[in-house]
Amino acid sequence: MKMLVAPSILSADFGKMAEAVENVKLWGADWVHCDVMDGVYVPNITFGMPMVKALRKYSDMVLDVHLMITKPEKYVGQFCDAGADIVTFHPEASDDVQGALDEIKSKGKKCGLVINADQPFEIVEKYLASIDLLLIMTVQAGFGGQSFKPECVEKAAKGAELRKKFGYSYLIEIDGGVSPKNVELLKQAGADVVVAGSSVFKSENPSLTVKQMQI
Ligand code: DX5
Ligand code: ZN
């Protein structure tokens, strides 16, 4: 299977978000990655359910919503109702990880967990049978445009190893500092999807950049 590419609209012009999601489709990408930050779990604030709901009208692509918020269990249902197709969150930010995963699934959506750059693989281990997507951060969550941390890639390899060993079905997605330069390494580690913010939105030829990562 070819690597799926999910451009992050965090790197788009916030005054032209509808155009950004339309461009993501024109560039031939696979999913749209939406970074939701609350200023509490991470030191940055982006947007919430109203933005997802608004963008849903402009795109028929998979909306991959990455929640960097505290107590995600309070909001996952609302993100599903707003039109998210996939909702992922950070388990250490939640008081009810299983409940939040179950709620996403009960809405007919895909659920996933995220391992932040400073967190160990073990935080997701007991939920691996319940998730559709395992998102591994290769930067500390909070901002776009940071440098890729190669030391985080071994968590993707561990996710791939356990998936094979126990027959789990989750996809493995990598987020943070991804570009055509490191995508091969991620493929080898077992990644199925890459998030790319600045490398796509700041590219002189975004279509080509997307294509170079669909390996
Ligand atoms: C970081 C976000 C990422 C980020 C990726 O907290 O989760 O999705 O937007 O942006 P780049 O590709 O620029 O690192
Ligand atoms: Zn993200």
Calpha distance 174→8 (Å, rounded) = 12
- The C-alpha atoms of residue 155 and residue 117 are separated, in whole angstroms, by 10
C-alpha angle 170/171/175, rounded to 5°?
130
Return the closest-CA partner of residue 213 out of 181, 167, 173.
181
Q: Are 192 and 139 in contact (CB under 8 A)?
A: no
CA angle at 34 for the pair 88 and 125, rounded to the nearest 5°: 20
Question: Quick one: average pLDDT of 161-174?
Answer: 98
7-56 per-position pLDDT tens digit: 999 999 999 999 999 999 999 999 999 999 999 999 999 999 999 999 99
Ligand 2 centroid to 123 CA: how many Å? 18
| 3-state helix vs strand vs coil in the chain, percent to 5 | 40, 20, 35
Ligand 1 pocket test target in 175, 198, 199 with most atoms within 8 Å of CB: 175
What's the mean pLDDT in 192-210? 98
Q: Considering every ligand atom, which ligand is closest to the CA of 9?
A: 1
- 175 as an active site residue: the answer is yes
d(CA 47, CA 43): 13
User: What percent of the chain clears pLDDT 70, i.e. is strictly above it?
Assistant: 100
Alpha carbon of 58 to ligand 1 centroid (Å) = 22
Hunting for tokens 């030391």 — which residue is that?
A: 151
- Helix residue spans in the chain (DSSP H): 17-26, 49-56, 76-82, 97-106, 122-125, 153-166, 183-189, 198-201, 206-213
Q: Which amino acid is at 40?
A: V
- In this structure, which residue's CA is closest to atom 9 in ligand 1? 144
Q: What is the pLDDT of residue 23?
A: 98
Question: What pLDDT is stored for residue 128 in this prediction?
Answer: 98
Task: Indicate which ligand has the atom closest to the C-alpha of 116.
Answer: 1
Tell me if residue 35 is catalytic.
yes
Q: Residue 92 CB: number of other CB atoms within 10 A?
A: 15
What is the band of 119 on the pLDDT scale with cuts at 50, 70, 90? very high
Q: Partners of 134 in the beta sheet? A: 113, 172
b/e map of 106-116 (b: 16 or more CB within 10 Å)? Answer: ebebbbbbbbb
pTM beyond 0.85: the answer is: yes
Cα of 42 from ligand 2 centre, angstroms: 12
Would you state the torsion angle of the CA atoms of residues 2, 113, 44, 46, taken in this order, to the nearest 10 degrees? 60
| Beta-carbon contacts of residue 57 (< 8 Å; ≥ 6 apart) | none
Cβ–Cβ < 8 Å for 17, 55:
yes
Predicted confidence at residue 194, as pLDDT, reads 99
Tell me which of 35, 38, 64, 192 is the catalytic residue: 35
Q: What rounded mean pLDDT belongs to the chain? A: 98
Model confidence band, residue 178 (pLDDT cutoffs 50, 70, 90):
very high
The mean per-residue pLDDT over the stretch 98-111 comes to 98
